[in-house]
Amino acid sequence: MSVRKEILGRAYFVFCLFLLVGAVILGKVIMIDTVERSFWVEKGNSQSIKKQVVKAHRGNIYADDGGLLATSIPFFDVRIDFGSSAMRQRYFDDNVDSLAVCLQRDIWPSKSVGAIRSELVTARKNKIRYFLIKRDATFEEVEKIKKYPLLSMSGYKGGLVLERNSNRLKPYVNLASRSIGRMPGDRQPVGLELSYNEVLKGNHGERYVQRIGRGTYIPVEGLLNTEAEEGADLQTTLNVNLQDIAEHSLRKVLEDHEGEWGTAIVMEVKTGKVKAIANLGKNGESYYENLNYGVGRLYEPGSTFKLATMLALFEDQDMSLEEEVEIGPGYMVVGPGVIRDSEGHPFKKTTVANAFAISSNVAIAKLANKYFREGDGPDRFFKYMNQFHLKSKTGIEIPGEPLPDLYSKDEREKIPSKKGTWSSIMSIPYMAHGYELRLTPLQVLSFYNAIANNGFYVQPRLGDKIVKSGTLVKDLTKNNKSVQIASKESIVKAQTILKAVVDSGTGKNLISKDYSVAGKTGTTRTNYADKEASRKKYTASFVGYFPTEDPIYSCIVVIDDPKKNKYYGSKIAAPVFKEIVDYCYATNPDLMEVLNEEPMLTTANLRIPTFEVGYTEDYEKVFGYLGLKTRKSTDSKWSLLTQDSTDFNLEPRKISEEVIPNVLGMGLKDALFILENMGIEVKISGSGKVTEQSLEPGEPLKKEQIFLTLG
């Protein structure tokens, strides 16, 4: 046989061999994918190992004083893996009896110890991988179970398996519930839970688990797992007590007047921190926090918007508060419409300041007509609205805040639903007194807050700090910059007319001898366009700040569609405002009246006890704490306190251990300390300071008894 034929024969043999092997492999693949498919799928599922997400502990939400507003409460399903390769039979045999006793005592009291032991033995024999001990166990229960015999063994030797779940809990239940919100994954996530989700949620971990049954997995030992990192905590600006009083007062007014919804918001003037935000809407016969009306509901503000018109006039015309405006005969024809004052007045002309104080619709409309309706007047008007931050969102962290519905002619033409709604005759005078525009209550409050803050606008905030493990991560209000919205002169005029509203105008029912308030009432007819309406609907409001001089808080109250009794802002919204002010003054020392305004010229005016004897260091501590100066003549351990016209003196009281000491003027504690340490038995009568002692000071010391009289 030639070499060539031999080589070709071998090549053909190898080729046929490969062809045969390939055919066998292909046949096996087809067999596995068709005939044996269900078998291998089931076997793969039963032995599959996969990664499982370990949810991180969600951070807490706190009130301004550290009180819990929302927290995650952990619950556990507790199981035993009797098939764990790390569990030795001798571990089980040594501990099964005592484990059965613990389970009967704490978990299954209705079962006997013997029955429980039998179940455990059977489960171990069958290597049950997921033997249930308790569902929804609390953290405290789990800590107790971890100390049980067998289960307390480290690693997987004891077979303890914990499946952690958690529920989000609000300790104050419905208090500020809508603002606190719901988490992503809920049916409708809202509020701070949503906006600060990245901060609160933490970083989820991973672990390897093995499937041991339908839908049942257990952790796999020995594989690298990633620990979950818990979320940071959010401290809010909300004050629980102020929130509670706002909600309570708001609910009472809504129930008394059968309002449709209401909101009350309290904000710190200088910082923009929202201290309370109450939102209640009607649901059947009751009121709940079903929507965040303060942040998300646009409404026609009516007379409370007049302040923006007046501030624009102050900026544009440098208008004097004493300038006169005609308001007679109490109405004003504007195209096909008529603007009326809600009440008649005994005069036809009045000053700008008084027109605002009595909330004259006619006066404000006439002033706006005169200066802002013709030529470039509308452009200037909207320029000021933009300058006052009334055409933009406040930027508060609550999701869902709408843009203000405050549009110029050109802007309306670009919005399909508003195209053609601008009237060169009616729009400016109607907008000037709060109609044909819509804002949210918080947007109105933020504008008034800027007036209280001497013209500086600050963004309202609900988040204060981000904290993790007690350490400050970020101060959320640190860079909350303020922007000046108007000149100092214009702001002073605005503050003056707001004070006049309460002193002599529509807000007179807020006058109190204990405090001063500045603000504006508002009563808006909401269904004025419906000529066939069976009844008139109104929105009542009051917005202002306190105290008038150097304000600390601003506040707005809005009540929509009151159906019973009164509907004016001064009669419905202002009382809620007043209750909030009363609470603030009763609980905030910074707002309380100083009773001793006259400075004390000498220490002689202070009612500090004198001619007292005591321990020198104690006196120095007390006087140092009070910030009072003392004169000390020596370094004596004991001192007599005296006072002259200007200072307090600490004069030495020498105590010798060789003679009877002088304890006159001392308190009983100091006298006993000295005498008993010298071996003298003490008998006492009376109470107070030592006024008499039976043994004369300076007599030789003997082991004897002394009688002290206190008075």
The answer to whether the CB of 586 falls within 8 A of the CB of 241 is no
Supply the DSSP symbol for 701: P
Alpha-carbon span 479 to 481, nearest angstrom: 6
Q: Helix, strand, or coil here: 237?
A: coil
Residue 464 amino acid letter: D
Question: What is the rounded average pLDDT of the residues 329-355?
Answer: 89
Between 235-244, 395-404, 580-589, the lowest mean confidence (pLDDT) is in 580-589
- Kindly report, residue by residue over 524-534, the tens digit of the pLDDT: 988 887 777 78
Exposed/middle/buried for residue 243 (C-beta within 10 Å: 0-12, 13-18, 19+): buried
Contact 65, 240 (CB under 8 A): yes
Q: Which of 232, 274, 286 shows the shortest CA–CA distance to 401? A: 274
* Least reliable range by pLDDT among 184-198, 303-317, 477-491: 184-198
Which pLDDT score, from 0 to 100, does residue 172 have?
Answer: 86
* 241 close to 175: Cβ distance less than 8 angstroms: no
CB 234, CB 61: distance < 8 Å:
yes
**Read out DSSP for 410-422?**
HHHHTSTTTTT--
Mean pLDDT, to the nearest integer, of 237-260? 94
CA atoms of 460 and 218, how far apart (whole Å) = 48
Which tokens belong to 38?
A: 């269900």
Alpha helices in 275-336 (DSSP H): 293-296, 306-317
Residue 689's DSSP bridge partners are 667
368: confidence class by pLDDT, cuts 50, 70, 90: very high
H helix or E strand, kind and range, residue 544: strand 538-546
Higher pLDDT, 310 or 667: 310
- Grouping H, G, I as helix, E, B as strand and the rest as coil, residue 339 is strand
Share the mean pLDDT of the chain.
Answer: 85
- Residue 603: per-residue pLDDT: 45
- Which of 170-179, 451-460, 696-705 has the lowest average pLDDT? 696-705
Q: Reply yes or no on whether the pLDDT at 207 is more than 60.
A: yes
Is the pLDDT at 82 greater than 70? The verdict is: yes
How large is the average pLDDT for residues 356-371? 95
- The pTM for the full model equals 0.72
State the pLDDT at residue 692: 84
Mean pLDDT of 559-587: 90
Q: Which residues pair with 705 in a beta bridge?
A: 681
Residue predicted with more confidence, 471 or 698: 471
| pLDDT tens column, 404-447 | 999 999 999 999 999 999 999 999 999 999 999 999 999 999 99
Of 12-26, 319-333, 617-631, 680-694, the one with minimum mean pLDDT is 617-631
Structure confidence at residue 610 (pLDDT):
53
- Check whether 220 has a pLDDT greater than 70: no
pLDDT tens readout for residues 17-63: 878 887 888 877 777 777 776 665 565 555 566 666 677 888 999 99
Q: Which residues are paired to 334 by β-bridges?
A: 337
Give tens-digit pLDDT for 538-557: 999 999 999 999 999 999 99
pLDDT for 602 equals: 45
Q: Which residues contact 191 (CB under 8 A, 6 or more apart)?
A: 178, 179, 180, 181, 182, 292, 398, 399
For 639-649, what is the mean pLDDT?
Answer: 65
| Residue 604 predicted with pLDDT over 80 | no
Compute φ and ψ for 237, nearest 5 degrees: -90, -5
Residue 601 confidence (pLDDT): 42
Reported as type and span, the H/E element at residue 20 is helix 3-33
- The confidence band for 72, taking pLDDT boundaries of 50, 70 and 90, is confident
CA distance 445 to 267: 8
**Residue 577: CB partners within 8 Å, gap ≥ 6?**
264, 510, 517, 519, 542, 544, 555, 557
Percentage with pLDDT > 90 across the chain: 47
Give alpha helix (H) positions in 424-520.
Answer: 427-432, 441-452, 488-504
Cβ atoms of 52 and 217 within 8 Å: the answer is yes
